[in-house]
Amino acid sequence: MKKMMTKMALGAMALTLLAAPSVWAENIKVGAILAVTGPASFLGGPEARTLEMMTETINAKGGINGNKIDLIIKDSAGSPEKAVSFAKQLIDEEKVLAIIGPSSSGETMQIKQIAQDGKTPLLSCAAAEVIVNPVASFVFKTPQKDSDAVKMIYNELKTKGLANVAVLADNTGFGKAGAEQLAKIAPEFGIKIVENEVYDTKDSDLTAPVAKIKANKEVQAVINWSVAPAQSIVLKNIRQTGWTVPVFQSHGFGNIKFAQAAGAAAEGVIFPAGRLLIAADLPADHPQKALLLDYTKNYESKYQGELVSTFGGHAYDAMLMLEEAIKVGGNDREKVRTALEGLQKLPGTAGIFSMSATDHNGLTIDAFQMMTVKNGKFVAYPAQ
Amino acid sequence: MTAELFVQYLFAGITYGSIYAIVAIGFNIIYNTTGIINFAQGEFVMLGGMIAISLLPLLPLPLAIGVAVAVTMLIGALMEMIFIRWLKNPSVLRMIIITIGISILTREAAIHIWGENIRALPYFVGNEISTISILGARISPQVLWVVGVCGVMVVFLHLFFQATSVGREMRACAANRMAAILCGINPRNMVTLSFVLSAGMGALAGCVMSPITYSQYDMGTGLAIKGFTVAILGGLGNSGGAVAAGLLLGAIEAFSVSVVPLAFKDAISIAILLLILFVRPHGIFGSAEAARLKTF
C-alpha cells in the first residue's frame, strides 16, 4: 500500500512538472485583464487576440533579450468586481511584471489604486481621461484622451456653425466620462447641450429617447458617445424616424462592426479616431504608416474574417510599449515603470507616444483624425 | 406632448411590448403543461436569430428563418428529453435550477459557436434607413413585421389550444394530469411538445426582431427577465393576459422616457415586477383562486 502511495505521489509530481514547463525558462509573466466576453467584448475580443498574436511573434523571435513572454489573459467579462479580483491575483499570486488592460474605463478606475499599491505597471486599454489624470506613477493608458476627442468634435461643429447639441451617452465608464468632458468643454467652444440622455449598453431599441430629442426643435446636431453595440441602434433609430440631423460619434465607434451593424444609417456619421482605420490612405512618409499596415495585415491574415479595430490597436500599443520598456528594464517592475515613463516618439497605432512624469498617455490631439463612413467603409473626413 | 410624439412613443412601446409578450407566452406554454418556469426561454429567442443569420449565406431569407425555427424546436425537444423528461416528480426549486443551468449552458455554447459579436438579419423590407409614416410618426417597416408576426402567433396559439385535439390534450394535462393519463394521453409527450412549441415561438420572434435589436449570444437573459415580468403581470399561464401585460409594460417603458431619464427604464420594469410579486402575485389579469391551486 505504501509503495503504491509513493508511486502515485511520483506520478503526480511528474504530471505537475509536465504541466509547468515554464519552471526552467526565464520567462517574463505579463498579465492581461480583458473583457473577452460580455457586453464589452467588442473591446476585449480584439485586444486579447492582438496580445496573443504579438506574444507569439515576440516568442518566435526568441523573446525580449532572450526572455520569452508568458501571457496570462483573464476574462473580466466587463465586470469591475472580477477585474479587481483578477488584478489582486495577478499582482500577488502570479507576480506578473505588468498588467495590460482592463478594456473598459469603469474597470480600470476600480483597479487603478490596486496597481499603484502593488507597484505593478498597469497599461490600460481604456480611454477615459481620469485614468491618467491625476497621474498615478504606475498607471498608463494607450488610447487617446477623450477631452481631445471632444475638442475635435466641437471644432467641427463650430466650422459647421452648429451650436445646440443633444448628447446621448451609454452608461459605461467611457460614456460617463465622455458626457462629463462634453459638458465641461462646451462653454469654451460656445456649444450648448440642450438634451442629455443616458442609455444602457444592453438596450435593444432606442426609438423612444430618439423621439424625445427629436421633438426638441433646438437640437442642431447629435453627439452619440458610446463603446457599446447600442450606439449603432441609436443611429438606426435616428434615421428611421426620418431625422436627417448631423450625427457625431466618439472614438468608441472605431470598430467597423459598429458601422456595419448600423448599415445605411451609419453613412455620413462623423467621428474622431486614430489613423489605424485609414492606414492605406496615409501618405507614404507618415511615421505610423508602416506599423499600421503591418498590424492590419498580420491581424487580418491570422484571424480570417475579422477586420482590425482601434480597440485591438490599444492592446497593440500597450504590448509595444511594454516590449520597449522590458528591453531597458528587464524583469523588474520599478525599472520597467521608469522605462515606460521615459518612452519618447514611439509610433503606435493610436498615435506617436511621448511619455513624461506628468503625462502617462503621451498622445496629443494630433493623434486624432476626423473620419466618416462612406459606402460602409471608414474614410478620412471630409470624404473625397 | 404633441400627437406625433405620442404616436411615436406608442409605437416604440408596442414594439418592445410584442417581443416581451412572445417571451412571456413561451413561459406560459411550458408553465401550463409542467408547472415550471423555463428560464432558458430567452435563449430560444437568441438561438432562432443566430441560426437564421448563420444560414443566410446558404439559403434565402424566408427559408433560413424556417430552418432556424425548426432547428430551435429540435433543440427545445432535446433539452426536455435530456434534462427534464426522466425526472420523477421534481421539486420546483430543482426545476428552476435545471432550467437556469440549461440557459447558462446554451449561452456558453453560443459564445463558442458564434463569438461575442453582435449580428443581425437584414431588414425584411427596405434597409436601416427606410421609414414609413403612420399618423405623423415615422417608424421602420420592420416594426410592422414584429407586431404582425407576434399577433399571428398569438392567434395561431389560441386556435391550436382551442380547436385541435393535440392542443386540447395539452390543456388536459395542465388541468389534471392524472385524469389526462386515464384518458390515454401521454403527459410526457405533451411536455416535450410544449418545449417544442415555445422554442419555435421564441425562435421566430428572435428572427423578426433581429434586424431591429440585433442578435448576440447573451441577449437571452435580459429578455427572460422582461418576459418573466410580463408573464407574472399578466397572470402566470394566461396568454391573453401576457399580451395585454406585454403591451402595457412596453408602453410604460416608452412613455417613461418623457418623464424620467432613460437610464431608469429597466429600474421601472423591475420595480413593477417586485411590486406585482408583493401585492398581486397572481397578476393583474389572473385570478387569486386559480393561483392558490397552483404549485408556484
The whole-number pLDDT of residue B70 equals: 98
The kind and range of the H/E element at A72 are: strand A69-75
Q: Which residues contact B61 (CB under 8 A, 6 or more apart)?
A: B121, B122, B124
Distance (Å) from the alpha carbon of A263 to chain B's nearest alpha carbon: 6
Cβ proximity of B68 and B52 under 8 Å: yes
Angle between helix axes B3-34 and B41-55 (nearest 10 degrees) is: 110
CA B17 to chain CA centroid, Å, is: 11
Query: Which residue in the set B111, B129, B213 is minimally distant from A37, CB to CB?
Result: B111
Query: Which residue in the set B13, B128, B133 is minimally distant from A236, CB to CB?
Result: B128
Query: Which residue in the set A37, A171, A197 is minimally distant from B116, CB to CB?
Result: A37
Task: State whether residue A23 is helix, strand or coil.
Answer: helix
Give the residue numbers spanning the domain of B79.
Answer: 3-293
- Which of A204, A269, A306, A311 to mutate against chain B (most B CBs within 10 Å)? A204
Distance (Å) from the alpha carbon of A209 to chain B's nearest alpha carbon: 6
CATH number of A146-273: 3.40.50.2300
CB of A45 within 8 Å of any CB in chain B?
A: yes
DSSP A251: G
The whole-number pLDDT of residue A8 equals: 56
Query: Which residue in the set A204, A208, A239 is minimally distant from B257, CB to CB?
Result: A208
Integer CA distances (angstroms), B32 to B29, B170, B195, in order: 5, 8, 11
Which residues are bridge partners to A347 per DSSP?
A: A352
Taking only the tens place, the pLDDT of each residue in B189-218 is 998 999 999 999 999 999 999 999 899 998
d(CA A77, CA A81): 10
Taking only the tens place, the pLDDT of each residue in A10-29 is 555 555 544 444 444 578 99
User: Helical H runs in A20-63?
Assistant: 41-60
| B28 closest CA partner among B250, B269, B244, B214 | B244
Distance (Å) from the alpha carbon of A325 to chain B's nearest alpha carbon: 32
Distance (Å) from the alpha carbon of B45 to chain A's nearest alpha carbon: 14
Question: How many helices (H) does chain A have, and how many strands (E)?
Answer: 12, 14
User: Does this chain's domain A27-144+293-364 share its CATH topology with A146-273?
Assistant: yes
Q: Could you tell me the pTM of the whole model?
A: 0.81
Q: Domain coordinates of chain A in residue numbers?
A: 27-144+293-364, 146-273
Domain count, chain B: 1
DSSP A366: G
Q: What is the CATH number of the domain that holds B139?
A: 1.10.3470
The whole-number pLDDT of residue A237 equals: 93
This complex has an ipTM of 0.81
The whole-number pLDDT of residue A20 equals: 46
What Rg, from alpha-carbon coordinates, does chain A have?
22
Task: State whether residue A272 is helix, strand or coil.
Answer: strand
Taking only the tens place, the pLDDT of each residue in A324-339 is 999 999 999 999 999 9
Whether residue A264 and residue B15 make contact (CB cut-off 8 A), yes or no, is no
Instruction: Going residue by residue through chain A, which has 384 residues, state the pLDDT in tens, using 9 for 90 and above.
Output: 555 555 555 555 555 544 444 444 578 999 999 999 877 888 899 999 999 999 999 999 999 988 999 999 999 998 999 999 999 999 999 999 999 989 998 999 999 999 999 999 999 999 888 899 899 999 999 999 889 999 999 999 999 999 999 999 998 888 998 999 999 999 999 999 999 999 988 888 898 899 999 999 999 999 999 988 899 999 999 999 889 999 999 999 988 889 999 999 999 999 999 999 899 889 999 999 999 999 999 999 999 888 899 999 999 999 999 999 999 999 999 999 999 999 999 999 999 999 999 999 999 999 999 999 999 999 998 876
Whether residue A205 and residue B12 make contact (CB cut-off 8 A), yes or no, is yes
A27-144+293-364: CATH architecture: 3-Layer(aba) Sandwich (3.40)
Question: A197 to chain B: which residues are within 8 Å by CB?
Answer: 257, 261-262
CB of A232 within 8 Å of any CB in chain B?
A: yes
C-alpha cell at A294: 503591418
User: Low-confidence residues of chain B, pLDDT below 50?
Assistant: 296
d(CA B33, CA B195): 9
Which chain B residue has its CA at the smallest distance from A213's CA?
A: B258
Whether residue B117 and residue A42 make contact (CB cut-off 8 A), yes or no, is yes
